[in-house]
Amino acid sequence: MNSPYTPGIAAARLAPDDLAENFADLHAPLDGHEAAVAADRCYFCHDAPCITACPTDIDIPLFIRQIATGTPEAAAKTIFDQNILGGMCARVCPTEDLCEQACVRELAEGKPVEIGRLQRYATDTVMAKGTMPYSRAPETGKKVAVIGAGPAGLSCAHRLAMLGHDVTIYDAMPKAGGLNEYGIAAYKSTDDFAAREVDWLCSIGGIEIKTGMALGKELKLDDVVGCFAATFLAVGLGGVNALGAPGDDKDGVDDAVSFIETLRQTDDLSSLPVGRNVVVIGGGMTAVDAAVQSKLLGADTVTIAYRRGRDAMGASRYEQDLAASHGVKLLFNAMPIAIHGNGSAVEIELERTETTDGTLKGTGETLRLPADQVFRAIGQTLTTDAGLDLDGRKIAVTGAGRTSRAGVWAGGDCAAGGDDLTVTAVAEGRDAAMDIHATLMGDG
C-alpha cells in the first residue's frame, strides 16, 4: 500500500476492507417486516399526487397496498407494467424530488412514504426468482432496430418484443446498459445489478444485442433504415464538453464521465488512482457522483466548484447534502479560469461570479485551490445527429419520439424535451415503442 503521505494521484490510498465498506449499497434493501411497516404509512390516496409526479405514471398507492397485503409479486407487476426498469429506477431515481416530494405524508409531516425503497423491495422480489412476468404476443414478422442499449433503448426493446416484434439492439460499448452500466455511482448500483437487469429484461425473448456498434462509425443510419421496419435512436450523449480554460490539457485533468466509467468497470477498487486534492467542475448528478466517489477512494479534500448559485444546480438538494455528508465541499459562484502546474495539475484558479439581469459574469475576484486532479462535469453533447433535424443541441422530436425522418424515432438523453433522468428515458422508450407498434400495424 502507498504511504499515507503520497503526493499527487495515487492508487490504494485506503485498505481494501475500507474501500469495500465505502462502496457498499447506499441504502440497504428493506426486509419483509420493514417493507410492511413502511407500506403501512401510505394513505392510499384516491387522487394520489405521487402518481402525477412519477414520469412513468406508476400506480404507486396500488403497488404499496399490494406490498401491505403480502403480495410483492403483484406489486412488482404493477410497477413493471409502466416501468420495466423499475428495479434500477428504485435505486437511482431522484424520488426526493418526484414522488416522495409530492407525498401527502411529506407535506403533512416532513417524512414521506419510502416509495423508492418499497419499489426496490417489490422488484427485487421478482427479479431474485428470475421470473419474467410477461410473455410475447404472436410474432408480427416485423423487425425493429434500437440503437443504444441504455434505459430508453432497453425499455423500447422490451415493449416491442412483448408486442411480438423482433428487436435488434446495437450499442457502441462492450456491455449493454448505457448510463445504468457505465455512468452512475457504484454505491447506487451494487452486485452487478445493471447487467443482471439487462439479462432479466431480455429473457422475454425476441431481443438480440450487438455491442461494439456505434452510430456514425460501424453503423450508418441509412443502412439500418433499409434493413428494418422501424428504428429507435437512444444513443444518449457521448461527447463531453471541454473546460475552455488554460491548462485543460494538463496531466490530472479528465472528464468525470470517464472516471465514473472506469470505477464502475473495475474489479479492484484499490487499483484506482485518486488525487490528494480533487476539484470537480460542474453542478449536476455526474459532478456529485464523481466527487463523492473521489472521497470514498481516499482523497483528502474534494471540492465541487459550480459557476452559479446552489438553487441552479442540476443535482438535487438531497444529492448536494449527500456530498456534504461525505466531506465534499460545495463552492458556488466560482468558474475555472486556469489550471496551473508544470505539466501536471497542481492548482486551479477560479473567478467569482454573479448574475445580473439573468446574465452570468465574472467579478474579477479570484481564488486558488490545491488541485492535483480536476474532473470536468460540465455537460455532454451528441456525438452524431445522424443527419436528423435538431432542436437546440438534441434531436428534434414530436409526439412519442417521431423524428424528422419517417420510420425513425428517438428518445432518452439524445432527444429534445426530456430532463435527462433514467426514469424519463424509460417512459420515452416505452411510449415510442407503442407508437412504433401502432405505425407498423397500420393504426398510427
- Compute the distance between CA of residue 230 and CA of residue 31 in angstroms, rounded to an integer: 43
Q: For 278-290, b where at least 16 C-beta lie within 10 A, e where not — what string?
A: bbbbbbbbbbbbb
CATH superfamily of 143-238+382-440: FAD/NAD(P)-binding domain (3.50.50.60)
Percentages of the chain per state (helix, strand, coil), in multiples of 5: 40, 20, 40
Judge contact between 10 and 372, C-beta under 8 A. no
Judge contact between 301 and 326, C-beta under 8 A. no
Pick out the chain residues at pLDDT < 50: 1-5
What pLDDT score was predicted for residue 3? 40
Q: CA quadruple 139, 177, 379, 185: dihedral positive or negative?
A: positive
What pLDDT score was predicted for residue 444? 60
> What's the pTM?
0.94
What pLDDT score was predicted for residue 132? 97
- How crowded is residue 379: how many other Cβ atoms within 10 Å of its Cβ? 16
Indicate where the chain has its CATH 1.10.1060.10 domain(s): 32-129
The CA-atom distances, in angstroms, between 145 and each of 84, 160, 221 are 19, 10, 10
CA-nearest of 97, 90, 116, 101 to 49 is 101
How many degrees, rounded to 5, is the angle at CA 361 between CA 337 and CA 417?
95
How many degrees, rounded to 5, is the angle at CA 292 between CA 13 and CA 394?
130
Judge contact between 247 and 340, C-beta under 8 A. yes
How many helices and strands, by DSSP H and E, does the chain display?
17, 17
Average pLDDT taken over every residue of the chain: 95
List all residues 6 or more positions away from 213 whose beta carbon is below 8 Å from its beta carbon: 170, 171, 172, 219
CA-nearest of 178, 168, 158 to 230 is 168
How many degrees, rounded to 5, is the angle at CA 82 between CA 77 and CA 85?
80
Domain 241-376 listed as CATH 3.40.50.300: no
Q: What does the radius of gyration of the chain's CA atoms come to, in whole angstroms?
A: 23
List all residues 6 or more positions away from 273 whose beta carbon is below 8 Å from its beta carbon: 9, 10, 11
- Compute the distance between CA of residue 283 and CA of residue 67 in angstroms, rounded to an integer: 37
Identity (one letter) of the amino acid at 49? P
Quick one: cell of 173? Answer: 460499448
- How crowded is residue 69: how many other Cβ atoms within 10 Å of its Cβ? 12
Indicate where the chain has its CATH 3.50.50.60 domain(s): 143-238+382-440, 241-376
Class of domain 32-129: mainly alpha
> Residue 85: exposed, middle, or buried by beta-carbon count in 10 A (0-12, 13-18, 19+)?
buried
Looking at the DSSP assignment, which residues form a beta bridge with residue 208? 168
Looking at the DSSP assignment, which residues form a beta bridge with residue 302? 278
Cα 351–chain centre separation: 30
